[in-house]
Chains A and B, each alone.
Chain A
Amino acid sequence: MDLLKLTTISFHLIFNPLDFIVIYPEIFMINATFVLLIYGVIMTTTSTYHNPLIIRNISMLAIYVLIFTGLLLSFNPITNGLIFRNIFVIDNFVFFFKIFVLLSTVCALLLKFDFYKQENLNQFESIILVLLATSSMLFLIASHDLIIMYLSVELQALAFYILAASKRNSEFSTEAGLKYFILGAFSSGILLFGCSMLYGFTGLTNFSGLAKFFFGFNLMDSNQFLFGILFIAVGFLFKLTAFPFHIWVPDVYEGAPTSVTSYFSIVPKIAVFAIFTKLFLFVFFEIFDSWQPIFVYCSAGSMILGSIAAIFQKKIKRLLAFSSIGHMGYLLIGVCCGTLDGIMSTIVYLMIYTLIIINIFASILALKSEDNSFRIKYIEDFGLLSKSNPLLAINMTLVLFSMAGIPPLAGFCSKFYIFFIAIKSSHYFLSIIGILASVISCYFYIRFIKIIYFDKPKKWAVFQSMDREKSLLLSISLLIIIFFFCYPSLLFILAHKAAITFCF
């Protein structure tokens, strides 16, 4: 027979060619990433064009790539199904989270624009790494198999290790990258060990297969695979910066350059939360009672730690790191509940948290002085911001009130919904700890506002006006935060559409 016909037939035996239509967005994104890499390398090493600095150029192109990927996703003809022999899945939940990841990456890239000029970091490789991490996150969200999940997590983590150490002439940044790498590799190892233990006991790696396996399973017969689930949970809790596995967070967030820290705070949590929710609330749903206590204690611990430890911080990035640990605690409450409402509340909280974090980091990045002589590092450096940038001061005040959960801003609505769902599922312990942690965290947010309005800074500085991208991001996110409570149904309906796929 023809060699061509043989290969075509064997190809059709392995893959359904229609499957490739589904991953057109990812194919496009990876190809575009490499084209941009080649473009960057050629342009920066060519002497004909006098080695131009093309970082802004590549950033804009990367944003266009992301937007186009989003468009490809939206207009994809196939919207529901398992592809490539059940290792990837596509449905409403996956689609929602992919769009969410792409939009937040666009916002994070917009934040990076001015940072390069300020820090003299002319590395276009960081943009390429961001794009690679994004494509790995797209695969991660769509994964339906333990092996694929692990591969995507590893790819994303590798890109992040390098990003954390990207400021090459700073010891601080290198230390942060190294710490992240060692602890991250360790936790990925634990994750892999858990996956392999699970495979060892069940013989399955596919999510649907595992879900069917646990259906009607009697835990009395054999429960050794619970160790596997425990290790997987530990691996994910590390990536999610939850309580006992949070130790790397303040150091890494502080050491990495600020734009990279903003990227860390905004994007990876979304992707990891998506796969985390799917893993525990779809695959391990039948053995809910065994793994629920882990997350109850981690959530309570995260909330308490996030509120108390942040009181003693003097540096702004460490404060934000601890506050994000606290916010992860609130998110874990939604997962602990194990109901559809729980998933909805988690999604709503995640969306509002992303908006708030984008706003805060945009405000911090917006403050740069004339020749970079004055860097914002300590909280006291924000002193009397109300006199020099009154609009930015009002913006930060409202966003900090939202983070503290004061009505009528958006942060309160999301916290209220989480507590409502917790009480509905009888998690009284968690909700009381949650509200007490809210009040305690209020203390340092209000102290921040007090410093902005009333304290005299040690060094006076004149700040330059911020660039257009940051001002757009700030104004749009602030408007949404202020006026969210007027019509919250929109977000809730989106979350409901995403969450209800768990019922099928």
Chain B
Amino acid sequence: MRLSVKVFSFMSNYQFSILSILIILPLIGAFVCAMAPRIYSKLVALIVSLLNFLVSILCWIQFDNSTPKFQFLESFDWLSSLNISISLGIDGISLFFVLLTTFLIPACILVSWVSVQFLITEYCIAFLILESLLILVFTMLDLLMFYIFFESVLIPMFLIIGIWGSRERKIRAAYQFFIYTLLGSVFMLLAILIIYYQAGTTDIQILLTTEFSERRQILLWLAFFASFAVKVPMIPVHIWLPEAHVEAPTAGSVILAGILLKLGTYGFLRFSIPMFPEATLFFTPLIYTMSVVAIIYTSLTTLRQVDLKKIIAYSSVAHMNFVTIGLFSCNIQGIEGSIFLMLSHGFVSSALFLCIGVLYDRHKTRILRYYGGCFYTMPVFSFIFLFFTLANLSLPGTGSFPGEFLILTGVFQQNTWVSILAATGMVLGAGYSLWLYNRVVFGNLKPSLINTFSDVNRREICLFIPFIIATLWMGVYPELILDSLHCSVSNVLQHGHFIY
């Protein structure tokens, strides 16, 4: 046997665009971080991630709002014998998730500037690789490759929670995180294989036009649901989230709340709704029920918590279930509202975790009873914390309000009872957010809080200012984001024949 293989055959149909830079740049940064002397690794990671953010802003500027087609397309062959190729592309929906990712990673690196003491190089490398994987997930236009990167995000997160977490329980949390997510996704793998067997390809643009029979759609939708429901997270598989948040380091919580929760709902939006429309309609009552139960149950559970991070974690669960209600209302207002809420939740929730990180850095505890009367010694921090608490309960003027309002508008057209029950979630949200703020910031000053280096320092203020700007901007002028969403969301709905 004479082996003569054209080794570089994948070069023959190879297109290249700015997305490759977005993906390769963090990997180059990780490599430089590994090679550079230890004292420079944080700086290198920060610079590379900020550069990546600038590149993604460039993407946004060059994005064409008037077409629903995928832009900045790239493709190369992966396995030509099986007709699987890697194709990358952005449309209105993925654009903002990529922006959110590249915005949050520099914040993550900046927040761990002094709090992570050991193995700082490996920490930065883990975050840069995580950034690369996340951008690959959001821009991948091939179902199998989406799945591969969707799952591979678990590996860096597992290491980040397990190695740099704060308490002994972190191992159990990392375990739960990993195995919960994996069990759901192996069913998704089987579904992908069945889809590939029927359609002969895993390219999303072709699969969106493939018709599956109703029975098959129901099975495939259930398999995909098993995977996405764990990530959203929906009741009853939400238990991993409070554990993972509490045990993770601050930056880990930021990226977990900011991006990883959005992977599930992004999956719903990109795959379940356009590809399996009949099954979506069939299962909408299930989703509504589970989401409404989740909103009310987790909001009430929050009232009993004593750990600061758990409160915000449960509030994340409530917000993400709001998002799923909006997604499955299947009209433009609902879906645009849910995407908007996802983005604003990414900013607000991450900022709240940053606030808790500020407190944790100083006092090394997250127990609620320890804190009281922060206003007296940390006035600037109290102001920032107030801003994000009000954003969390969707005060008009902040980013969450247009999101929730559009979602309620969308759901109201489908089912009034669900919208009424979901709206009570807003009231409960106000309940726990304001109560948390009251107990921590106002009240009698606890003696342990009198400390010489209490208030937020320059690095932390620089960290918060972009979040404040983003939330205010989204609240006051949401059209900036909604502008790019109109075409893509209409396209998604049109594929499922929800609108004509």
Contact = CB atoms under 8 A, between A and B. Distances in A.
Contacts of B40: none
Contacts of A439: 179, 182-183, 186
What interface size band does chain B fall in? 35 or more
B190 A406 contact: no
A431 interface: yes
Interface string B153-170: 011001100110000000
Contacts of A454: 162, 171
B176 to A, nearest CB: 11
A398 to B, nearest CB: 8
Nearest to A419: B193
A488 B78 contact: yes
A420 interface: yes
B148 A407 contact: yes
B149 A407 contact: yes
Contacts of B5: 490, 493-494
B152 A408 contact: yes
A502 to B, nearest CB: 14
B1 A424 contact: no
Given A407-B151, A494-B3, A416 B189 contact: yes
Contact of B182 (A442, A453, A485, A489): A442
A423 B193 contact: yes
Interface string A408-437: 100010001001100110000001100110
Interface in B14-47: none
Contacts of B162: 450, 453-454
B10 A487 contact: yes
Contacts of A401: 155
A438 interface: yes
Interface of A is mostly: helix
A492 B79 contact: yes
A489 B193 CA distance: 19
B147 interface: yes
Question: Which residue of B80, B144, B147, B183 has the most chain A CB atoms within 10 A of its CB atom?
Answer: B183
Given A407-B147, A454-B162, A496-B81, A446 B178 contact: yes
Nearest to A412: B148
B175 interface: yes
Contact of B196 (A406, A412, A420, A443): A420
A424 B178 CA distance: 29
A406 B144 CA distance: 13
Interface in A244-293: none
B197 interface: yes
A95 B81 contact: no
B175 A450 contact: yes
Contacts of A492: 79, 81-82
Contact of A423 (B10, B144, B194): B194
B9 interface: yes
A492 B5 CA distance: 11
Interface of A: 79, 92, 95-96, 386, 397, 401, 406-408, 412, 416, 419-420, 423-424, 431-432, 435-436, 438-439, 442-443, 446, 450, 453-454, 485, 487-490, 492-494, 496-497
Q: What 7 A-B pairs have minimum CB-CB distances, sorted nearest first?
A: A407-B148, A435-B186, A92-B1, A407-B151, A423-B193, A408-B152, A407-B152
11 contacts: A406-B155, A407-B149, A416-B193, A423-B193, A435-B189, A439-B186, A442-B178, A442-B182, A454-B162, A489-B79, A494-B3
